[in-house]
Amino acid sequence: MKTLNKIMDIYDNPMQIIDKFKAADKKIVGYRCLYVPEEIIHAAGMVPYPTFGVTQPIMTADSYFQPCVCEFVRNLFDLAKENKFDFLDELVLCNTCDAIRHLYSIWNRYIESVPCYIINNPQKMHDEAGYLFYRQELENFKIEMEKLSGNKITDNALQQSIELYDETRRLLKQLNELRKRDIPPITGAESLKIAIASMLMPKKEANELLRQLIDEVHDREIEDDNCPRILITGSIIDDPTIIELVQDMGGNVVVDDLCSSTKYYWYQTKKNSDPMDAIVRFHLERDVCACMHPSENRYDYLTELASEFDVDGIIYFNIKYCHPFVYEATIYRKKLEQTVPTLILETDHSLSGLGQLKTRVQAFIEML
């Protein structure tokens, strides 16, 4: 499994990617949440870099945010305070939830090394007025990226970036569709690491590796434990420990609906002569995020995913204080349980208290 190992190595050592970019004099623009179009950053000749957290206890962020704000966001802030994000030339956030919006304000006030920009995306999908609003916001964002890079972003460049990023999404989807099999050739934990590594890497390299990987694992033999098939959902999981936990407790994570995985790559841009319009529609037509409306669309997306992968159970892993997904779990639970058994869990982003989690997951899987 040469390619798989190569990708795992990249996942384990992300700084090597950063070093390469810095050596090539590339500007790196961090982003968080799926409504920041990477293509615009890329078309400006810069590197879009998804910011992930690190599994560690919260340090000084509690003083800036209060301990009752989303742990993932507090963790990102801690990392920024520890200068771990100093390699970024800018951070771009968007209008998803309260915590991310606060990160924008608090970051700008207290983190001096990296400026923060926010894209004001609508929270209503599939709406023409929303497209216009988002379009204007993206035009403004484009100007900001041009300023930062010193390069003009041409329509041509945008089209090329869209094609490149679409290819990554398409390949990741193709790879993960292999998990629809009775015996998926890659485990849930491996899939998450591959997805994250692909998001971090330059896309040309990622695409090449993914093509090789798909060939490599196509006929990979994995023991059939006849484990119940599980779908994991929630907002973001950046540490595969949680997925490994489910696997250890006897569940086969065949699909994960996360911001660090399927939500990112399940859909592609539709062909359009106006690349900005393509970008606008791509983002406002994929119903993956719990912060967006209509909620019914996201429910359909979730249940379709569950059905396509023939899952026996759904597990929500909600980060502590993640309001959008906690509400969603409450609102969907009864309806979901009519078709698929569903378990709703709250986890610390710092992964303390795994013991209790194990017990609940084990009990759930035994029931399936």
Partner 1 sequence: MTTKVTVPGIKNLQTTAEISNSIRGYYGNLKLAKEKKIPVIWSFGLIPREIYHAVDAPVLFLEHLPLMMGAKQLSGKYMEIAEEDGFSRDVCAFHRCFAGCAIAEEKDPYLDSFFVTPDLIIASNLPCISESKSFLYSADLYNCPYYFVDGPINTWGKNIPDHAIKYYSSQLQGALDFMEEHGFKVDMDRLKESVKLSLKMIGLWNEIDDLRKTVPTPMSAVDGLTAAYPLIQLAGTQTGVTLYERLRDELKEKVKNKEGVIENEQLRLLWVGVPPFFNMGLINYVEKYGAVVAKSMIEYLAGGAYDPSLVDPEKPLEGLAYKSLVDIINPTAENMLEFIAKSVKEFQIDGIIGAVKRSCGLLPGYFRMIKDSVFEYANVPTTIFDLDGLDIREYDDATTKGNLDSFVESLLASKRR
Partner 2 sequence: MVTVGIDVGSLSTKVVLLNNDKVVSYAIYPTGVNTEAAVDQAMESAMEKAGISSKDKPFFVATGAGKKKIAPEKQQATEVICDTIGSLHINPKVTGIIDIGGETCRAIKCDLKGNIIDFAMNDKCASGTGIFLDAMAKALRVKPEEMGDISMKSDKDIEVTSMCAVFAESEVVSMIHRKVPKHDILKGIHKSIASRIYGLTNRILLEGEIIATGGIANNIGVVSILNELMNTRLNVPKNPEIVGAIGAAILAKERS
For partner 1, the binding residues (CB under 8 A) are 63-70, 95, 97-99, 101-102, 104-106, 109, 118, 120, 122-124, 127, 129-130, 132-133, 136-137, 290-291, 293-295, 320-321, 323-324, 326-331, 333-335, 344, 346
Shortest Å, Cβ 266 to partner 1? 22
Q: Judged by CB, which is closer to partner 1: 88, or 344?
A: 344
Burial of 350 (0-12, 13-18, 19+ CB in 10 A): middle
34 binds, among partner 2, partner 1, none (CB under 5 to 8 A by kind): none
Burial of 258 (0-12, 13-18, 19+ CB in 10 A): buried
Q: Judged by CB, which is closer to partner 2: 59, or 345?
A: 59
106 binds, among partner 1, partner 2, none (CB under 5 to 8 A by kind): partner 1
Separation of alpha carbons 156 and 158, rounded Å: 5
User: In 3-state terms, what secondary structure has residue 313?
Assistant: strand
Sign, CA torsion 57/103/290/180? negative
236, 223, 207, 181: which is closest to 31 by C-alpha?
236
69 binds, among partner 1, partner 2, none (CB under 5 to 8 A by kind): partner 1
Please, which residues have CB within 8 angstroms of residue 254's CB and are 6 or more apart in sequence?
179, 180, 184, 188, 229, 230, 231, 309, 310, 311
Shortest Å, Cβ 117 to partner 2? 27
- Torsion angle (degrees, nearest 10) of CA 305, 184, 198, 321: 50
Separation of alpha carbons 319 and 213, rounded Å: 31
Residues that bind partner 2 (CB under 8 A): 57, 59-60, 62-63, 352
Report residue 351 CA to chain centroid gap: 18
Shortest Å, Cβ 33 to partner 1? 13
Q: Judged by CB, which is closer to partner 1: 106, or 255?
A: 106
Instruction: Give the chain's largest Cα–Cα span.
Output: 58
Shortest Å, Cβ 120 to partner 1? 5
**Tokens 């920009």, located at residue:** 117
59 binds, among partner 1, partner 2, none (CB under 5 to 8 A by kind): partner 2
Shortest Å, Cβ 355 to partner 2? 9
Instruction: Kindly state the DSSP code that residue 23 receives in the 8-state scheme.
Output: H
Shortest Å, Cβ 232 to partner 2? 24
Q: Judged by CB, which is closer to partner 2: 60, or 359?
A: 60
**Tokens 């695409």, located at residue:** 207
133 binds, among partner 2, partner 1, none (CB under 5 to 8 A by kind): partner 1
65 binds, among partner 2, partner 1, none (CB under 5 to 8 A by kind): partner 1
Shortest Å, Cβ 129 to partner 1? 4
